[in-house]
Amino acid sequence: MEELGFNDYQVLASKTRKEFDEIKDMQADVGLGLAGEAGEVADIIKKHLAGAKLIDFEHLKEELGDVLWYIAEACDCFGFSMQEVAQKNIEKLKKRHPNGFGGYGIR
Ligand SMILES: [Mg+2]
């Protein structure tokens, strides 16, 4: 499968968007939708850590994809490209952690 870049993803995601009469309605939808989908990711992890369920990785992947879709929509809503947001984030991380991420992550 050919790799899908941020900009291509953003264009494809926008084709599945519903139309809004007012920009504030779209802003509300992307803000609440992003929080809701992030909550679904958190719930999968919470249930796993509580011992109630093993992580269903396919479900987790699907919910992370839903978060990504709302990120694409938020970028469109505010006039950003996902590429520029990703680039800005990496620049911030490089400034904050010039020697890498020692102390974080799984070793
Ligand atoms: Mg979802």
Quick one: three-class SS letters along 17-37?
CCCCCCHHHHHHHHHHHHHHH
pLDDT of res. 97: 85
Q: Are 33 and 44 in contact (CB under 8 A)?
A: no
Length of the chain: 107
Query: pLDDT tens per residue, the chain (107 residues)?
Result: 789 999 999 999 999 999 999 999 999 999 999 999 999 999 999 999 999 889 999 999 999 999 999 999 999 999 999 999 999 999 999 898 888 766 555 55
∠ CA 21-23-28, nearest 5°, is 105
Distance 70 CA to ligand 1 centre (A): 10
CATH code (residue 62): 1.10.287
Q: Are 75 and 82 in contact (CB under 8 A)?
A: yes
47 lies in which domain range?
A: 21-96
Distance 1 CA to ligand 1 centre (A): 24
The answer to whether residue 73 sits within a structural domain is yes
Distance 23 CA to ligand 1 centre (A): 23
Distance 102 CA to ligand 1 centre (A): 32
CA dihedral 78, 83, 84, 85 (to 10 degrees): 70
Domain count across the chain: 1
Distance 31 CA to ligand 1 centre (A): 14
